[in-house]
Amino acid sequence: MKPTDVKDPEYFHKVVDCQYACPAHTPVPEYIRLIAAQRYTDAYMINWESNVFPGVLGRTCDRPCEPACRRSRIEEEPVAICRLKRVAADNKSNVADRLPAIPKEKNGKKIALLGGGPASLTVARDLMPLGYSIDLYDDQPAGGGFMRSQIPAFRLPEEVLNEEVNMILDMGVLTQFNTYVDSLKSILDKGYDAVFVGTGAPRGRDLDLPGRKEADDNIHIGIDWLSSVAFGHTSTVGKRVVVMGGGNTAMDCCRTARRLGGEDVKVVVRSPFDDMKASPWEKEDAMHEGIPILDNHVPQEFVVENGKLKGVVFEKVEAQYDDKGKRTLVPTGEDSVLIECDDVLMAIGQENAFPWIERDIGVEFGKWDMPVVNEVTFQSSNPKVFFGGDAAFGPENVITAVAHGHQAAISIDLFCRGESVDTRPAPGVNLVSQKMGIHEWSYDNAVEDDKRYIVPQAELKQTLSDRKLEVELGFDAQTAFREAQRCLNCDVQTVFAEDRCIECDACIDICPTDCLTFEVNDGEEEQIRQKLKMPANNLAQDLYVSEDLPTGRAMIKDENVCLHCGLCAERCPTAAWDMQKFYYSVTKAGK
Amino acid sequence: MTYQRPNFRHPNLPVNELGYTRKDYEGALSTLCAGCGHDSISAAIVQACFEMSIEPHKVAKLSGIGCSSKTPTYFLGNSHGFNSVHGRMPSVATGANLANREMIYVGVSGDGDTASIGMGQFTHAVRRNLNMMYVVENNGCYGLTKGQDSATADVGSASKKGEPNPFEPIDLASVALQLGATFVARSFSGDRAQLVPLIKAAISHRGFAFIDVISPCVTFNNNPASTKGYEHVRDHLAATGTVDFVPVKQEITTSYPEGESQEVTLHDGSVVHLQKADPELDINSRRSALRLIKDYKAKDQILTGLLFMDEDSRDLHEIIGTSNKPLRSLNESDLCPGQKVLDNLNESLR
């Protein structure tokens, strides 16, 4: 194997599993340490720089970081990263003086943002401090996009959303709410220097089954219905509600229905329970509110009696998987079941729709009638038009939209300055020793045994009777500290200096998780992986291989279950090992 | 300041025949200097006992005084231990062994504890062929009192702040051979692959099993002028061969070329296999071992590996015909067998 080049910032970045998994690459361990130190405002600002909506994401993020968390490879549960983020947002002090200054004198470039969701707002956040003039168009009466219309208030209080949306709008964004843009050409004709399309995936899927038309009054498209509830147009629902679908929107629909008068609310889903797209914790929350989830039920028809919806007929199926793991739903042969209900909410997916983009203005459309967008620059085939968020590549989530927004802002800035959008800025990287003394580090290197703490919730009776009452109460300071202490500080890297090593084996012997081996580096990676003290079978995790040492062996570290406890460095007599904090930040526009 | 070891271990740690992982054989966290060779030896003992599936409660760890003698705290935390007086570990071991012959005795000593203050004790334990493993963690200096030369320091070797040593060293392996030790080996703390099978063989051997392990003192005796530093030892290392320890229940699957290997079967049926690097060596011959140690030393090399084994070893219990049961298991009728037995005994002496 070739010795590892730790000068490549991506090597250590990958060791910080949570940060690497985050689409916006938020420096998670750094802000978790700040939370433990009760420096909530500092923790908040690190988040805000990176993901723009810490308060929102601390409640609603899809948390790609948590399944990646190293902690879940050494015990059952990852660190509650998402809910710790909320602690920073809940406890921060006024951040007004920490926000970037907005130049009074503009740079003369005008940008249009279409859609007021997280992608567009991120572009505004990154470009306003650079002196751009920005017009934001949205057909709704307030900013936030799907964060406002689809995430129910009992998961995301309006104040939290308003605060973070307004932090950006107050930078001087000219908003044009209640304005549906029906022609991209008309926007381009206004002479903007660049246009960003962040209009999401606004069309909820429908199901064309027998009885669909006749029962139309009582069948609702989930995202439209949620939006109608959010803006106060809908305030009741029937007592018996069937929610069709297995994603997070289905969970939001059923829980909202419980709060609007639904007493017998069921989620009915085609797939097996474990295959459902909804996050496990959202399924748990729904079930906690007395909502059964019936899996392996495929809808067949809407039954209408006397011109009114009576119920939905489902066929029972079971999932069968072929050798490649591909799933087919095979009918079990049991009798179909009729589930009676007053209302049906359909949350079976959503799609992009661009009826308002003319096809002759240089924006090329490809597969599934989606615009052709560069995955790095987010530029379309019309160099002035950029896409991001769900509008770019289909439905994802808030944190992905934010990541898109940052990258699109870089492109827009480069484009407006007449530079190539393909020249991407390198990430900001810092690597600093944490050594304070012989056994003393500037981070808390002790590894705590605590199991994951559960976020307390408000009383069920209260939350079900008030649509806007937030269910989760958030961690208190003490619990937040305990939970923060579960973090393994994966950003504090084990850095090895070959020229100092005397091969005394001290690090090998002390390493609690047997990550280290001195071994002759004479084979391909697969063979080396098997030669180690503990075979390195997690192929997703890299090996850190040194240059050859005097005895002809190399130091080989399997990054997989390293606890970053620093004992290798504490037991090293020559300081060949050192614990160094690696700070990786995605460079933003204009930096 | 934190100085604690996390409780987490690798999630896939292997399990031995008893269902234990290596963690079950660990001891407290070492307080020796970072990089001390002694810690490597502790780790090798842990590894050997884990692999041999030894029940921790059947082991007694014994030691005297010194850095080396602190180490039993750092391995086999679930075993019995006795940290005795300086140089007096062999006496305590003898007493314990006579009282209970069924335990495994692991004695750990240092060059000071054995070759100076404890020399008299050591020699008698050897000549009595006490059934124990006796490990000397040999760093050529008194680490605990800031690195003065010990009796095993080579002529001309100088510690970090010291003058070259003017005195002849005591070669403990040679001494043990001359006093009739029935298992003699030498190793290096930095050579785990050699040390672990030697420890396994020593534990399985019935009789006095002596291992002299060169174990650098990183703090006081790991400088270029020292002959017991990592670099010097690595540069001057020679081995009698590769030792394989094949436990009783395991079939021998490796094939060894004829003439270049030697095999010894132990009392418990396990087999020690030596793949010889030097055809001159005969592990059944004391004379061969003594000569080779001298020959290599003349070439400025340190001969490590298995040096001598006596397959027909008779330990102290056999030699003096003691009770074949531990004393604690003797009951009143064993100890006072009655008038008739006494009469017979008296009769036999008339």
Q: Tokens 């200097």 map to which residue?
A: B33
Domain annotation covers residue B160: yes
Q: Distance (Å, rounded) from C-alpha A498 to C-alpha B37?
A: 19
Overall average pLDDT of the A389-406 stretch: 95
- Of A325 and A259, the one with more pLDDT: A259
Q: What is the rounded radius of gyration, in angstroms, for the C-alpha atoms of chain A? A: 26
Q: What is the pLDDT of residue B135?
A: 98
**Contacting residues of B for A75, CB less than 8 Å apart:** 8
Kindly report the nearest CA distance between residue B34 and chain A, in angstroms.
4
* CA-based nearest residue in chain B for residue A567: B5
A386 pLDDT more than 90: yes
pLDDT of A228-255, one tens digit each?
Answer: 999 999 999 999 999 999 999 999 999 9
Percentage of chain A surpassing pLDDT 70? 100
Q: How confident is the model at residue B2 (pLDDT cuts 50, 70, 90)?
A: very low
Kindly report the nearest CA distance between residue B230 and chain A, in angstroms.
7
Kindly report the nearest CA distance between residue A435 and chain B, in angstroms.
11
Q: Do B35 and A574 touch (CB under 8 A)?
A: yes
Kindly report the nearest CA distance between residue A485 and chain B, in angstroms.
13
B255 pLDDT more than 70: no
Domain annotation covers residue B6: no
A136 near B CB under 8 A:
no
Q: Tokens 């679930």 map to which residue?
A: B78
- Whole-complex ipTM: 0.90
Q: Look up the domain containing B151 and give its range.
A: 22-320
Q: Do A512 and B4 touch (CB under 8 A)?
A: no
* CA-based nearest residue in chain A for residue B188: A504
Kindly report the nearest CA distance between residue B9 and chain A, in angstroms.
4
In chain A, the domains with their CATH numbers are 9-96+429-484 (1.10.1060), 106-202+352-416 (3.50.50.60), 210-349 (3.50.50.60), 492-585 (3.30.70.20)
Domain annotation covers residue B136: yes
Q: What is the pLDDT of residue B256?
A: 64
Q: Do A505 and B40 touch (CB under 8 A)?
A: yes
B1 pLDDT more than 50: no
Q: Do A447 and B42 touch (CB under 8 A)?
A: no
Overall average pLDDT of the A357-383 stretch: 94
Q: Do B35 and A572 touch (CB under 8 A)?
A: yes
- What is the pTM for the complete model shown? 0.90
pLDDT of B17-57, one tens digit each?
Answer: 999 999 999 999 999 999 999 999 999 999 999 999 999 99
Let me know how many helices (H) and strands (E) chain A has, helices first: 22, 24
Q: How confident is the model at residue B11 (pLDDT cuts 50, 70, 90)?
A: very high
Coil, strand, or helix at residue A506?
helix
Nearest Cα to Cα of residue B211 among B77, B68, B87: B68
- In this structure, what CATH number is given to the domain that contains residue B151? 3.40.50.970
Q: How confident is the model at residue A400 (pLDDT cuts 50, 70, 90)?
A: very high
Q: What is the pLDDT of residue B247?
A: 84
pLDDT of A483-498, one tens digit each?
Answer: 999 999 999 999 999 9
Percentage of chain A surpassing pLDDT 90? 94
Q: Across all residues in chain A, what is the average pLDDT?
A: 95
* CA-based nearest residue in chain A for residue B192: A505
Please count the other Cβ atoms lying within 10 Å of the Cβ belonging to residue B117: 18
Q: What is the pLDDT of residue A380?
A: 97
Kindly report the nearest CA distance between residue A446 and chain B, in angstroms.
7
Percentage of chain B surpassing pLDDT 90? 83
Please count the other Cβ atoms lying within 10 Å of the Cβ belonging to residue B125: 26
Q: Do A449 and B7 touch (CB under 8 A)?
A: yes
Coil, strand, or helix at residue A204?
strand
Domain annotation covers residue B209: yes
pLDDT of B43-101, one tens digit each?
Answer: 999 999 999 999 999 999 999 999 999 999 999 999 999 999 999 999 999 999 999 99
* DSSP-assigned beta bridge partners for residue A294: A268
Domain annotation covers residue B205: yes
Q: What is the pLDDT of residue B230?
A: 94
Could you say which of A534, A565, A571 has the minimum Cβ distance to residue B6?
A565
Q: H helices within A37-155, ranges in order? A: 40-51, 54-60, 65-68, 71-74, 81-91, 118-127, 146-149
* Exposure string over A271-295, b if 16+ CB within 10 A, otherwise e: beeeebebbeebbebbeebebebeb
A521: its two tokens: 């580096």
Overall average pLDDT of the B243-252 stretch: 77
Nearest Cα to Cα of residue B139 among B120, B160, B118: B160
Domain annotation covers residue B328: no
Q: Do A561 and B218 touch (CB under 8 A)?
A: no
Question: Which residues, in sequence order, are CB contacts of A46 under 8 Å at separation 6+?
Answer: A26, A27, A30, A31, A34
Q: Are A273 and A377 contacting, i.e. CB atoms less than 8 angstroms apart? A: no
A331 pLDDT more than 60: yes
Could you say which of A503, A509, A513 has the minimum Cβ distance to residue B9?
A513
**What's the total number of domains in chain B?**
1
| Interface of chain B toward chain A, CB-CB under 8 angstroms | 1-13, 30, 33-37, 39-40, 42-43, 189-190, 192, 216, 218-219, 222, 230-231, 234
Q: Distance (Å, rounded) from C-alpha A531 to C-alpha A525?
A: 10
Could you say which of A445, A505, A572 has the minimum Cβ distance to residue B192?
A505
Domain annotation covers residue B339: no
Q: Do B35 and A444 touch (CB under 8 A)?
A: no
Q: H helices within A28-76, ranges in order? A: 28-36, 40-51, 54-60, 65-68, 71-74
CB pairs under 8 A between A and B: 100
* DSSP-assigned beta bridge partners for residue A241: A265, A343
Q: What is the pLDDT of residue B279?
A: 82
pLDDT of A98-108, one tens digit each?
Answer: 999 999 999 99
Could you say which of B5, B11, B35 has the minimum Cβ distance to residue A506?
B35
Q: What is the pLDDT of residue B253?
A: 65
Q: How confident is the model at residue B285 (pLDDT cuts 50, 70, 90)?
A: very high
Tell me which of A486, A500, A509, A511 to substitute to probe the interface with B (most B C-beta atoms closer than 10 Å): A509
Q: Tokens 């495994």 map to which residue?
A: B104
Question: Which residues, in sequence order, are CB contacts of B121 under 8 Å at separation 6+?
Answer: B87, B88, B89, B90, B91
B239 pLDDT more than 70: yes
Overall average pLDDT of the A116-139 stretch: 97
- Strand ranges, E, within A270-427: 293-294, 297-305, 308-321, 327-331, 337-340, 343-346, 350-351, 385-387
Q: Across all residues in chain B, what is the average pLDDT?
A: 93
Domain annotation covers residue B15: no
Q: Residue A207 burial (CB < 10 Å; 0-12/13-18/19+)?
A: middle
A531 near B CB under 8 A:
no
Q: Are A582 and A12 contacting, i.e. CB atoms less than 8 angstroms apart? A: yes
